[in-house]
Copies of this chain bind each other. A is one copy, B any other.
Amino acid sequence: MQHELKGERRMSQHSQHIRLVRTPVGVPTEADFAMGDSELADPAPGQVLVRVTALSLDPYLRSAMAGRHMSGTIQVGDVVRGEGLVKVLASAHPRMAVGQHWVALCGWRSHALLDDAVVQQARLVSDQIQPQTLALGGLGMPGLTAWAGFHRLAEVQARDTVLVSAATGPVGATFGQLARIAGCRVVGIAGGADKCAWVTGTAGFAACINHRSEDLRVAIQRECPKGVDVYFDNVGGDVLQAAVENLALKARVILCGLMAQYNGAPLPGPSPGWFIKARATVRGLVVYDHWDALPTMVAELSAHQRAGNMHFREDIAQGLASTPAAFERLMRGLNQGKALVVL
Residues of chain A having any CB pair with chain B under 8 Å: 68, 70, 233, 236, 240, 255-256, 258, 261, 266-273, 275-286, 289
Contacts and interface: CB of A to CB of B under 8 A. Distances in A.
A272 B256 CA distance: 9
A75 B75 CA distance: 58
Nearest to A288: B279
A280 B284 contact: yes
Nearest to A267: B271
Contacts of A255: 272, 275-276
A233 B266 contact: no
Number of copies: 2
Contact of A269 (B233, B269, B279): B269
16 contacts: A236-B272, A240-B272, A255-B275, A258-B271, A266-B271, A267-B271, A268-B268, A269-B271, A269-B272, A275-B282, A277-B284, A279-B283, A279-B284, A279-B285, A279-B286, A281-B283
Contacts of A268: 268-271
Given A267-B271, A279-B284, 20 more contacts: A70-B277, A233-B272, A236-B271, A236-B273, A255-B272, A258-B271, A258-B272, A258-B276, A266-B271, A266-B273, A268-B268, A268-B269, A268-B270, A269-B269, A269-B271, A272-B284, A275-B282, A275-B284, A276-B285, A279-B285
Contacts of A258: 271-273, 276
A280 B256 CA distance: 12
Contacts of A286: 276-277, 279
A267 B269 CA distance: 10
A273 to B, nearest CB: 6
Contacts of A261: 271, 273
Nearest to A282: B282
Nearest to A63: B273
B269 A270 contact: yes
